[in-house]
Structure 1
Amino acid sequence: MQDGHVEAAETRNDGYFSDFGSALRYWRTRRGYSQLRLAVDSSVSQRHLSFLESGRAQPSRDLVLKLGIALDVPLRQRNAMLLAAGFAPAYQERNLSDPELSSVMEALDFMLRQQAPFPALVVDRLWNLVRFNEPAAGFMKWLLGMPADAVIPRDGSINVLRLMLDPAGLRPRLVNWQAVCADSLLWIQREAMADGPGSEATALLSELSALPGIAGALATDHHVPNLERRALPFLPLTLAHEGVELNLFTTITTLGTPHDVTVHELRLESFFPADGATADWFRARFGVAT
Structure 2
Amino acid sequence: MASVATAAENTGFGDALRRWRRERRLSQLDLALAADVSQRHLSFLESGRARPSRAMTLQLAEALDLPLRERNRLLVAAGFAPVYATRDLDDADMAPVRHALDLMLSHLEPNPVLVLDRNWNMLRHNRAMDRAFAALGDPEALWARVCGDGPRNLLKFTFHPAGARPFIRNWEEVAGLLLWRGRREAEADANDTLHAVIDEILDYEGIPRRWRLPTHPDGPPPPILPLEYELGGQVLSLFSMLSGFGTAQDVTAEEIRIETFFPADDASAALLRALAAAD
So what's the TM-score if we normalise by structure 1? 0.82
State whether structure 2 residue 107 is matched by structure 1 residue 114: yes
Q: Which residue of 1 aligns with 2:3?
A: none
CA distance in 1, matches of 2:50, 2:218: 49
User: Between Structure 1 and Structure 2, which shows a larger proportion of helix residues?
Assistant: 2
Q: 1:69 aligns with which of 62, 79, 87?
A: 62
Q: Which deviations, in whole Å up to 9, do the C-alpha atoms of 1:157-213 show, x marking residues without a partner?
A: 21111111100111101112211223223344245435658x422322221121122
State whether structure 2 residue 126 is matched by structure 1 residue 133: yes
SS of the residue aligned with 2:135?
A: helix
Q: 2:152 aligns with which of 154, 158, 165?
A: 158
Deviation at 1:137, TM superposition (A): 0.9
Q: How many aligned residue pairs are there? A: 264
Alignment check: 8 A CA contact 2:85 2:250 kept:
yes
Alignment check: 8 A CA contact 1:21 1:52 kept:
yes
Q: Which residue of 2 aligns with 1:285?
A: 275
Q: 2:230 aligns with which of 237, 240, 243?
A: 240
Q: 2:178 aligns with which of 184, 191, 203?
A: 184
- Structure 1 residues 220 and 85: CA distance shift in structure 2, 3 A: closer
The share of aligned pairs that are identical, in percent, is 44
Q: Which residue of 2 aligns with 1:3?
A: none
Deviation at 1:58, TM superposition (A): 1.3
- Structure 1 residues 190 and 220: CA distance shift in structure 2, 3 A: closer
SS of the residue aligned with 2:136?
A: helix
Q: Which residue of 2 aligns with 1:207?
A: 200
Q: 1:251 aligns with which of 241, 244, 261?
A: 241
Alignment check: 8 A CA contact 1:195 1:201 kept:
no
So what's the TM-score if we normalise by structure 2? 0.85
CA distance in 2, matches of 1:200, 1:192: 8
Structure 2: where are the runs of 5+ without partners? 1-5, 144-148
Deviation at 1:76, TM superposition (A): 0.9
Give the letter aligned to residue 202 of structure 1: H
The CA RMSD measured in Å over matched residues stands at: 2.8
Give the letter aligned to residue 250 of structure 2: D
Structure 1: where are the runs of 5+ without partners? 1-7
SS of the residue aligned with 1:56?
A: coil
Alignment check: 8 A CA contact 2:226 2:239 kept:
yes
- Structure 1 residues 222 and 109: CA distance shift in structure 2, 3 A: same
CA distance in 2, matches of 1:220, 1:186: 10
